[in-house]
Structure 1
Amino acid sequence: MLNVAYRVFLYSYAYLAISGFKIGENEETSFGKTLKKIFLNPVILATLVGMVLWFMQAIPGVNFVHKDWLTTNVDPKMYALWRFDVTLPWIHPVVKTLGGLSSPLVWLAIGCTLGNASIKEAATDKYAWIFSVIKVFGAPLVVLGILAFVEWIATLCGYPQLISAETMQSSLMMWMVPPATVAVAYCINFDKEKQMASNTSVISTLLAVPGIVIWVLIITLLTASGFFPSVAA
């Protein structure tokens, strides 16, 4: 669910802010047409459709495709028709590969942008370092503090084990990773601080290598402490 809100924000407000798009300047930029343009974005549509299909898993009888009807070697149980990795195994790998190309293509654009500057200049960009430290270490720390506070309040109110270890783990992992390459692509495309955006993307990615190791260690210790109870336990 966190990813849904993030993607809606990324392809709506972030796009408008970086592109300099002004709502209401003329008929073509009216609020209604702008809203229509945002929600007809293929990524937003795919995200919303995927969320609806995910919720539909709870509908009784929706899983009616049996393993015997398929040519793939999957677990012997019933599947929903839209489980394309099972029902359309010849299409799913192609779509998955195409989806995985987005970040490498943006990294090519980042490389072209960094090619016009010296490595020393990129490594000495203090604002890129400040943002990277906040993204990799500061943001997950704030999220951890909020989760711990909510769990503490819930325990005092007689509702312990409100925040599970799995919720804590997934939340921290979402926040510890480098920033989205889509935002960098916006900056490059609209020529808005593209050098700083590229520097930040590179530094935060490099900083995330030791950062993820540190956070995985912290997550392991927190899970072992039992403060956030594991659902699987």
Structure 2
Amino acid sequence: MNIYSSAVNEAISKTLLDWPLWSAIIATISVISLGFILTVKGIINKDWDQAFIKFVMLLGLPSLVLKSFLADIDIDKFISELSVIILGFIFYLIMTMVSRVFFLKYNRDIQDTLAMCVSLGSTAYFGLPLIREMFGTPGELTANNFNISYWVFLCSVGFLIMSKDNTITTQVGLFTKTELKLKKENLTPAEMELLLKDQTQLKKQLKQDGLVEARKMRNANLKKIFSNPVLIATMIGFFIWATQLIPGIRFVSYNGVDKFSPLRVDLIFPPIANILTALAAVCTPLAWIAIGMKMAKGNIKKAIKDKNVWYATFIRIIVVPIIALILTIIVATIGNASGGWTIDGIQLSVILIMAATPPANVIVVYAINFDKEPELACNLTSISTIAAIVTMPIWTVIGAVLGSTPIFN
């Protein structure tokens, strides 16, 4: 026990004195604050954030994702990253199933919005740039693998829940209550039959109209999701990275590099690597400035006064990372005990950072498109972003300290 305590104390001291780590954290906070201040002071146009976000989403993040997958692979690394992928699916399955429990006292629309906001964070837009600065390519690779499950649940469960029209259920329920009330009134059988028939027709029409409208919006949103450049880059990048394990696929020798997969476009045409590196480098500061600008545009004063926003923020940036931490410890312990896989300290820190991000921008867009408590979603994003800037260093330190223990070595 004394040896273990000594190792933990040494890990804490090393982490607290780790200037590269703190430099990345301080840089993140400083650039986000700079974007906020410049917008508030009117030095930069508050609408520029849309241009920055478009650049980041269309070019910056896809380049960052693809670049991280253009790396060598061995079977041990693949198994380790596969454990991260499986862990991601378990994590998001649990979150999307149980997150509603935290908000049972609210109406269905608020339940849906807050549950999805705390289940699905801004892992790509907020998390990836920070991870890039802290951990480089190894961290980026783990983040992108963890994000595979994120995209699956965002495109499926997240979309289905946010697009569900609760007004139809509510109105149909009201009709049912009316039917029960009518049975207690002194109506002739013919009058009762006529009224119930009218209500049945109204129910059918209501459901049909609602389903048709929901289907149109669902198709439009699904098209946007599956054409997302970040998602496309993740799928292509993972395919290139994983297929390097196929026996005999490494047969290309070119430009002084011996034996690599023909899919490694960065080795076949080296300028591609430089282009991706340049775009990925620009992505990080632009993303941070845009986050600060979005914070400045939000109604911070109103959001601060909303107790519901603070409650959901606590769940998002404290409870959710704790759940992720517990699951990661369990999976890492099983891997160590069985000798089947390992999860290292960098992977742990990356998972914690991804779990502690503010709500996903896509969920906020869903809330706006489907008119499902959009103001609440926007206010929650503003407050949780500010809070995440404060708590993110704490989770990073926790990840670094626990990552130095025998479980993650």
TM-score range, shorter chain: 0.5 to 0.7
Please report how far the alpha carbon of residue 104 of structure 1 lies from its aligned counterpart in structure 2 after TM superposition: 7.5
Q: 2:266 aligns with which of 70, 74, 83?
A: 83
The aligned length equals 215
Structure 2 residue 353 is matched with structure 1 residue 173: yes
Judging changes above 3 Å, is the alpha-carbon distance between structure 1 residues 9 and 102 closer, same or farther for their aligned structure 2 residues?
A: farther
Judging changes above 3 Å, is the alpha-carbon distance between structure 1 residues 206 and 108 closer, same or farther for their aligned structure 2 residues?
A: closer
* TM-score (norm. length: structure 1): 0.68
Please report how far the alpha carbon of residue 87 of structure 1 lies from its aligned counterpart in structure 2 after TM superposition: 4.4
Judging changes above 3 Å, is the alpha-carbon distance between structure 1 residues 183 and 108 closer, same or farther for their aligned structure 2 residues?
A: farther
Structure 2 residue 352 is matched with structure 1 residue 191: no
User: How far apart in 2 are the matches of 1:82 and 1:217?
Assistant: 37
Provide the residue aligned with 2:111 in structure 1: none
Q: 1:132 aligns with which of 306, 313, 324?
A: 313
The within-5 A match list for 1:43-54 is 43=228, 44-54=231-241
The amino acid across from 2:374 in the alignment is K
The within-5 A match list for 1:27-106 is 29=215, 41-43=226-228, 44-59=231-246, 60-62=248-250, 64=252, 66-67=254-255, 80-83=263-266, 86-88=270-272, 92=276
Matched residue SS, 2:371: coil
Q: Deviations over 1:76-125 (max 9, x none)?
A: 6757443399343686478759987789779877866x3xx5x3221122
Matched residue SS, 2:403: helix
Provide the residue aligned with 1:147 in structure 2: 328
Contact 1:63-1:81 at 8 Å conserved across structures: no
Contact 2:345-2:404 at 8 Å conserved across structures: no
Structure 2 residue 19 is matched with structure 1 residue 19: no
The amino acid across from 1:214 in the alignment is I
Please report how far the alpha carbon of residue 64 of structure 1 lies from its aligned counterpart in structure 2 after TM superposition: 3.2
Of residues 178-187 and 77-86 in structure 1, the stretch that sits farther from structure 2 once superposed is 77-86
Contact 1:12-1:38 at 8 Å conserved across structures: no
Of residues 13-22 and 186-195 in structure 1, the stretch that sits farther from structure 2 once superposed is 13-22
Of residues 136-145 and 99-108 in structure 1, the stretch that sits farther from structure 2 once superposed is 99-108
Matched residue SS, 2:252: strand
Structure 2 residue 387 is matched with structure 1 residue 207: yes
User: How far apart in 2 are the matches of 1:90 and 1:221?
Assistant: 34
Judging changes above 3 Å, is the alpha-carbon distance between structure 1 residues 165 and 98 closer, same or farther for their aligned structure 2 residues?
A: closer
Contact 1:103-1:181 at 8 Å conserved across structures: no
User: How far apart in 1 are the matches of 2:273 and 2:283?
Assistant: 16
Instruction: Return the structure number with greater relative CO, CA threshold 8 A, min gap 6.
Output: 2
Matched residue SS, 1:171: helix
Q: Deviations over 1:109-165 (max 9, x none)?
A: 7866x3xx5x3221122222122222212111112112223444555x554974332
Q: Which runs of 5+ in 1 are unaligned?
A: 69-75
Larger Rg: 2
Provide the residue aligned with 1:216 in structure 2: 396
More helix, by proportion: 2
Judging changes above 3 Å, is the alpha-carbon distance between structure 1 residues 55 and 152 closer, same or farther for their aligned structure 2 residues?
A: closer
Percent identical pairs in the alignment equals 26
Q: Which runs of 5+ in 2 are unaligned?
A: 1-144, 166-206
The amino acid across from 1:137 in the alignment is I
User: How far apart in 1 are the matches of 2:225 and 2:301?
Assistant: 42
Contact 1:139-1:175 at 8 Å conserved across structures: yes
Contact 1:177-1:208 at 8 Å conserved across structures: yes
